[in-house]
A and B are shown apart, each in its own frame.
Chain A
Amino acid sequence: MTIRHHPDIATLGSFGFGTLDKARAFVVAAHVTSCAKCKAMVRGFEETGGVVLEDLEPAPLSMGAGEAMLDMVLHGADADRRTAEPRLAEVDLRTVLSTFDEGPWRWLGPGVHYKPLTTAPAGEARLFLLKAEPGTSLPEHTHSGTELTLILRGAFSHSGGRFGPGDLEEADSSVEHQPVVDDGDVCICLVAMDGQLRLTGFMGRLLQPFVRL
């Protein structure tokens, strides 16, 4: 698997610092899992985080905080309190893939189906799977928000290049494109998107009322 398209450096940095929203973080994690280059860059941002943390102005702890802490570790008090895994959150793609078999694919347009993975509140990025049949030409469109797309299987091309498994595409309202799926294999993508698709071509404007992702 040759990965040619990577997340923007700002996206990667936000991911390393932990300030990326959950849906986008999920997609970026899935890419980083299989991209050594991005993985090393994320680790660099984490190292930066460590240095910034060390040099941060300390906030005084309350009276007795040390005693409480000692009590907590020595007597297992509050044993069910959550602890965080001290590692980068990565995505087990098998888990994602297993959801292919659960729940129905919903019809989005000719040759295109989707499956919601989250129900995000309005204004937040949603996570869903997109499946397009071989040779499908998607309507020309742009986005009112931003969209992160990770290709899991198959491939598509548009003016921005060809995207295959492991590639990650970022698009926003400045990008107008018309992806065409390769012949021969179905294309499945993991998508985090806020805002809506805006269809721009003539056919698109006719179809727009029906597009509700």
Chain B
Amino acid sequence: MLCSAHQAWPIAAPQRYAPMADNETTSHSRLIERVAANQDRHAFMLLFAFFGPRVKGFMMRSGASDAYAEELAQETLLTVWRKAQTFDASRASASTWIFTIARNLRIDGLRREKLAANAQAQLDVLDLDVERPDQTLNSVERAERLRAALSGLSPDQLDLVRLSFFEDKPHPEIAKALNIPLGTVKSRLRRSMMLLREILEDLK
């Protein structure tokens, strides 16, 4: 099912944190593995059709213009194509892996001009080898549990999580924009992260 390239992608907004079909989340991993194994372009275009618009949405929510967000989405998927061999389904789900690519591009892309060249030169990218001997759930099961936990949050709590997820302005700027004290921004961010920590610790 290769989507036509001649039309915009007609994808409806998904239900928020609706449980995803098991085969859908595992199939994203399989698609990446097919790209890795034999540069399967059909598999790749399916990944592009699903993740392209979402990564673009992620970039726009983070402050990128429509055109630039699309460029960053392309670069994210281009990275998926080129680095597919380094994907390890036993260590990360497809969406976690693609999120880290998008996140790193967002860091580079949205703040490039602000970077001190010196620090950039010294930021070396190494492999994150997380060992979790006590972990009994695989990455897909963890993602499903996480999704279920997030769906149980109140709208206020979800807002908190979103604030911490998309906001890459320095805290004083958020405080100014929302007209609330700096300490309030910090304590709200902290609350949302603590909430997430509880959820994550329950996954073990």
Contacts and interface: CB of A to CB of B under 8 A. Distances in A.
A191 to B, nearest CB: 13
Contact of A43 (B114, B130, B165): B130
Contacts of B106: 18
Given A10-B190, A18-B168, A19-B164, A53 B55 contact: yes
Interface string A52-73: 1111111111111111111011
Contact of B6 (A14, A45, A63, A119): A63
A169 interface: no
Interface string B165-202: 11110100000000000000010011011101101100
A91 B41 contact: no
A67 B6 contact: yes
A12 B193 contact: yes
B73 A89 contact: no
Nearest to A71: B5
A44 B107 CA distance: 19
Interface in B75-96: 75-83, 86-87, 92-96
A170 B74 CA distance: 37
Size band of the interface chain B makes with A? 35 or more
Interface residues of A, number: 75
Contacts of B103: 17-18, 46, 49
A2 B15 CA distance: 45
A133 interface: no
B100 A46 contact: yes
A33 interface: yes
A186 interface: no
B11 interface: yes
A21 B7 CA distance: 38
Contacts of A25: 107
B143 interface: yes
A25, A58, A89, A123: most-surrounded residue (chain B CB, <10 A):
A58
Contact of B170 (A21, A48, A54, A82): A21
Interface in A12-56: 12-14, 17-19, 21-23, 25-26, 29, 33, 36, 39-56
B79 A59 contact: no
Contacts of A123: 170
Contacts of B1: none
Contacts of A74: 41
Contacts of A13: 164, 189, 192-193, 196-197
Contact of B14 (A22, A29, A57, A85): A57
B159 interface: no
Given A14-B189, A56-B57, A117 B122 contact: yes
B168 A19 contact: yes
Contacts of A86: 79-80, 83, 86-87, 97-98, 100-101, 104
Contacts of B131: 36
A74 B199 CA distance: 41
B120 interface: yes
A168 interface: no
Contacts of B7: 63
A184 interface: no
Interface of A: 8-10, 12-14, 17-19, 21-23, 25-26, 29, 33, 36, 39-70, 72-74, 81-92, 95-96, 99, 117-121, 123-124, 127
